[in-house]
Structure 1
Amino acid sequence: MAAVATPARPPLLIAPALPYPPPEVRAAPRDGAGVVLRAVLRGGPLARTALARATGLSPAAVSRHTAELIGLGLLRELPPVAGPPRAGRPQMPVEVDPAHHAACGVHIAVDMMTFTLVDLRGAVLAEERIRHRRSAGDVLGRIRSYLPGFLARRSRHRSVLGLGVVTGGWVDSERGTVVEHSLLGWRNVPVRQVLSAATRLPVHVDGHARALARAELLFGAGSGSAELVQLFVGNVVDAAIATGGGVLRGRSSGAGDIAHLPLGVPGPPCACGRSGCLQATVSEHTLGRRAFAEGLIERPDFALLLERALDGHPAALRMFRERLRMVGRAAALLLDVLNPELLVVAEAAVVHLPDLMADLHEEVAAHSHLCADPEHVVVPTSFGEQVLAVSAGAVVLDAVHRRPMELRTAGSA
């Protein structure tokens, strides 16, 4: 277990603290206000009559919940819809109000941390990146020390609804613990415990694939879908499974671990003792080392390889095409086992070199028995270069949109 020292508590980041418990720590009954808020997020602006039809709630319940959400600064009314006069009260549409609140997030990658603020619609308001030295003590210490200044510079008087911390590897979202992250050398790091005590913010901790799945369901390609698989390919390779509008965690939040999925082709040795595992074959570290060994770049740095590919270097493009074909084999297996409505891919070439999606689709078509239309089922992440920033805020926003009446804003002590 990695030892994590807890320093003296810094001043409050906002006052008062927001007593908004993470979604993993307790189950809640169906929240009518959350149903209304998510319906407006998906289809707004919506009048109350349209909200009643969309949610199945009574007009009285819709009016009550709408008033509550407006009072919390989560919804706002718009002017009446133009049209011919009609009997009764004018139709006043409501929409999600992005002006008052924000979710703060930190994405922990192997060498970098991304600090972000995201509004209620999932739009990135601010993003800053810093390097770290990988140890749990260094990473959590840097979060504690950097966060107050980041919020002071960037929050612009918005109420901060919580802190989302996401990373790769095995993350137990219920306990708020990184169980294992082999590339960072972390085992059983109590992220929520340390940061809740230090920041006095509600802290939501999850794996980045599950966080991205939540973001796609809320704001992205999965909005309105019941079933979705999120595939994340970076230094860490993992997946998330969404069904019934929620994201599967599995026992101890272990669902979605595909790092050691065998590809059935020769590949580099893996830390698990086998060879040809998915992560060992397609990770950014692997590609960077291969490109350096082949003389394409002056040091084993994935970012340099991506620059070469963006410049049109044939050998660099070939490496990304090969990588996407390996990813396509894994995607085909996931499609056949789970048969989701969508499979969303977050991967560097998919974001920066979208023309190479054809290679991914061809490999899926060649290996999947169920997916006859990969061009429609296998889609790129909705968030482009901001994928890490959005993932970090999404775990907070998912909780807010599901149970908004548990929220107390910074001005309502």
Structure 2
Amino acid sequence: MLSLVASPTFGRTALPAEGGGAGAVLRQVLAGGPMTRPAVGLAAGLSPAAVSRHTADLIALGLLRELPPPDGPPRAGRPRLPLGIDTRHHLACGVHIGVPWLTFALLDLRGRVVAHERIPRQGDADEVLRAVRAHLPGFAARRAAGRSLLGVGVVTGGWVDPERGVVVEHGPLGWHDVPVRERLAGVTRLPVHVDGHARALARAELLFGAGREATDLVQLFVGNVVDAAIATGGEVLRGPRSRAGDIGHLPVPGSTEPCLCGRTGCLQATVSDRTLARRAYEQGIVPRPDLDLLIARAAVGDRSALRLFDERLRLIAPAAALLLNVLNPEVLVVSEAGLAVAPELGRTLHAQVLAHSRPEPAPLVAPGSFGLDLLAVAACAGVLDSAYRRPMELRTARAS
């Protein structure tokens, strides 16, 4: 069981300055730390008194810590100890629901994967959520090593409504209107953050990855589901009914792949992991249609495997360029398995996207920051995003 442990401030009325100020301090230290209190105040636009108050609260919560003074000659007066993110006490927990696998993960406050496990995804929505309920407590108890949990994230592809905690539609899984948060709420007695994996990865990129110095970002996710997420002003957009970023049915000229929507040539059907694995099997690159086998071949430099990933990136590029042309972000991040194991494919991505987009100045076109850990990071990203935005509202639970 996971026993509830309230944070020192949970349940009390927040001070007027507490909401945004504490989060601003925490995010600033994440982005620029280690930092002294005066440096935090200057960067965040807060008074010394506000920084002092928020810092004390965040240290008490185990989110910040004072670090040893830097090397150098001693200074007169009280030493200004730098502040850093404290990763010793808390973890974010999450699960990614994919087509072949359920991925369980724990991340620290810097977005680093502490532990992850995966089990086969089997059965319909009821069976899958029962499997999550059965596996999650034991996973957390085994792997958290005494650290408390800040919340539980549940992410998947397709059309997901985070406000209601519902997977509205996931074509490859055959899910419709599945109340994920309601079904899992009792397993941890902690907040359950439900979202689509592209939006979750966009939040992770803004906090820890290629978007750390940006506020306008587009995240393109390519797996068995192909979708996008859009961030502007540092906020990830949902759109009406949480459908922003649905690009899976853009047409691919020349493609005859049948799609679950009833048409042929849709982007998702053409470039999905399942399609790629099937093509690899048909061409004799792998002994069965298994994406993990294809990734392993690409990782050791197999030219045939790399060619298939190269071809997929060329098919993705026009959609990526369309997102650039319409949205004009500072950063376009593409999360795709080939890029994770063969960084040289990034040259193909960059050249092909720019070939289909407007002339310079071009934004940064970057592979996803999290490699093959992207599903583990996505699973926990909503929990960490909430912690950095509203740290004074946190609850924690001890895994036991």
Quickly name the TM-score band, shorter chain normalised.
over 0.9
CA contact (8 A) 1:18 1:162 kept: no
CA contact (8 A) 1:20 1:162 kept: no
Question: Greater CA deviation, 257-266 or 215-224?
Answer: 257-266
Matched residue, 1:201: 190
Q: For residues 269 and 224 of structure 1, what CA distance do their matches in structure 2 show?
A: 40
Question: Greater CA deviation, 289-298 or 216-225?
Answer: 289-298
Q: Deviations over 1:35-73 (max 9, x none)?
A: 000000111111010011110011100000000000111
Matched residue, 1:347: 336
Matched residue, 2:393: 406
Q: Deviation at 1:381?
A: 1.1
1:13 correspondence with 2:2: yes
Q: How does 1:223-372 map to 2 (within 5 A)?
A: 223-370=212-359, 372=361
CA contact (8 A) 1:110 1:134 kept: no
With normalisation by structure 1, the TM-score equals 0.90
Q: Deviation at 1:369?
A: 1.1
Residue 160 of structure 1 aligns to a residue whose secondary structure is: strand
Question: Greater CA deviation, 68-77 or 377-386?
Answer: 377-386
Q: Deviation at 1:366?
A: 1.4
Give ranges in structure 1 of 5+ residues lacking alignment: 1-11, 22-27
Q: Deviation at 1:87?
A: 5.0
1:112 correspondence with 2:117: no
Change (3 A) 1:185 1:18: farther
Matched residue, 1:170: 159
Change (3 A) 1:303 1:78: closer
Question: Greater CA deviation, 317-326 or 93-102?
Answer: 317-326
Q: Which amino acid aligns with 1:401?
A: Y
Residue 344 of structure 2 aligns to a residue whose secondary structure is: helix
Choose the corresponding residue for 1:213, options 202, 208, 211. 202
Q: For residues 282 and 200 of structure 1, what CA distance do their matches in structure 2 show?
A: 39
Q: For residues 363 and 214 of structure 1, what CA distance do their matches in structure 2 show?
A: 26
Matched residue, 1:192: 181
1:386 correspondence with 2:373: yes
Q: Which amino acid aligns with 1:395?
A: G
Q: For residues 410 and 349 of structure 1, what CA distance do their matches in structure 2 show?
A: 37
Q: Which amino acid aligns with 1:113?
A: L
1:397 correspondence with 2:371: no
Q: Which amino acid aligns with 2:262?
A: G
Q: Which amino acid aligns with 2:203?
A: R
Matched residue, 1:8: none
Q: Deviation at 1:305?
A: 2.7
Q: Deviations over 1:316-374 (max 9, x none)?
A: 32221110101111111111111111111110110011111222122112110145546
1:57 correspondence with 2:46: yes
Q: For residues 136 and 389 of structure 1, what CA distance do their matches in structure 2 show?
A: 20
Change (3 A) 1:129 1:17: farther
Choose the corresponding residue for 2:91, options 102, 106, 112. 102
Residue 238 of structure 1 aligns to a residue whose secondary structure is: strand
CA contact (8 A) 1:336 1:370 kept: no
CA contact (8 A) 1:19 1:202 kept: no
Q: Which amino acid aligns with 1:279?
A: Q
Q: Deviation at 1:84?
A: 4.4
Q: Deviations over 1:288-321 (max 9, x none)?
A: 2222233333322222333333344433322211
Q: For residues 8 and 335 of structure 2, what CA distance do their matches in structure 1 show?
A: 33
CA contact (8 A) 1:177 1:205 kept: yes
Q: Which amino acid aligns with 1:220?
A: G
State the identity %.
63
CA contact (8 A) 2:306 2:338 kept: no
Question: Greater CA deviation, 350-359 or 166-175?
Answer: 350-359
CA contact (8 A) 1:80 1:91 kept: yes
CA contact (8 A) 1:37 1:401 kept: yes
1:183 correspondence with 2:168: no
Q: How does 1:132-147 map to 2 (within 5 A)?
A: 132-147=121-136
Change (3 A) 1:370 1:227: farther
CA contact (8 A) 1:103 1:396 kept: yes
Q: Deviations over 1:58-95 (max 9, x none)?
A: 11000000000001110001123444454543211111
Q: For residues 93 and 337 of structure 1, what CA distance do their matches in structure 2 show?
A: 42
Q: For residues 339 and 262 of structure 1, what CA distance do their matches in structure 2 show?
A: 21
With normalisation by structure 2, the TM-score equals 0.93
Q: Which amino acid aligns with 2:222?
A: V
CA contact (8 A) 2:109 2:384 kept: yes
Change (3 A) 1:370 1:261: farther
Residue 340 of structure 1 aligns to a residue whose secondary structure is: coil
Q: For residues 296 and 82 of structure 1, what CA distance do their matches in structure 2 show?
A: 55
Q: Which amino acid aligns with 1:349?
A: G
Matched residue, 1:78: 67
Give ranges in structure 2 of 5+ residues lacking alignment: 11-16
Matched residue, 2:14: none
Q: For residues 308 and 398 of structure 1, what CA distance do their matches in structure 2 show?
A: 35
Question: Greater CA deviation, 265-274 or 175-184?
Answer: 265-274
CA contact (8 A) 2:7 2:61 kept: no
1:66 correspondence with 2:81: no
Residue 369 of structure 1 aligns to a residue whose secondary structure is: coil
Q: For residues 370 and 173 of structure 1, what CA distance do their matches in structure 2 show?
A: 36
Q: For residues 139 and 20 of structure 1, what CA distance do their matches in structure 2 show?
A: 35
Q: Which amino acid aligns with 2:44?
A: T
